[in-house]
Structure formats: C-alpha cells, structure tokens
Amino acid sequence: MCLSTVFEQDETNDIICLLRNVAKVQIYPKKIVFTNLMGAQTVYVGSLRNIDLLENVITVGKN
C-alpha cells in the first residue's frame, strides 16, 4: 500500500505540510477530498498542482 503526504504551495511559493498517510484522493470541480489510512476525510478547496508517485507527494494550491 502506498500512502502519500499532501503539501500546500501558497502564493509566495512556501510549502506547508497539510496531511500525512493519505490513502485516497477524490477530485471534484472546486474541491479535493483526501481520505487517510484510518478513513478520516479532509476537504481541501483548491486545485492539484503536482502528484509525484515515486516520492508519494501530492502538492495542492488555492485557485
């Protein structure tokens, strides 16, 4: 099983760790729902910037 870490890149290009152990990602037009290993869901309003499957890193940002 591969788990990912979600980082947010803000307007000044600073990167902040938002979530760890993300097992599922659901993408909607204006939001992303992340589900962790324990089944807890976190809703993020913004968009995907990058997904690196080799490093298990997901980068998101505000629109």
Domain assignments of the chain as residue spans, ordered by start: 4-61
> What's the pLDDT score for residue 58?
98
Block mean pLDDT (10 aa), the chain, length 63: 92 94 96 97 96 97 86
Evaluated on CA atoms 52, 60, 10, 20, the torsion sign reads negative
Residue type, 31: K
pTM of this prediction? 0.91
DSSP code for 14: -
Looking at residue 35, what is its pLDDT? 98
**H helix or E strand, kind and range, residue 49:** strand 47-52
User: Could you count the other beta carbons within 10 Å of the beta carbon of residue 27?
Assistant: 9
One-letter amino acid identity for 50? N
| Contact present, 27 and 11 (Cβ < 8 Å) | no
pLDDT recorded at residue 39: 97
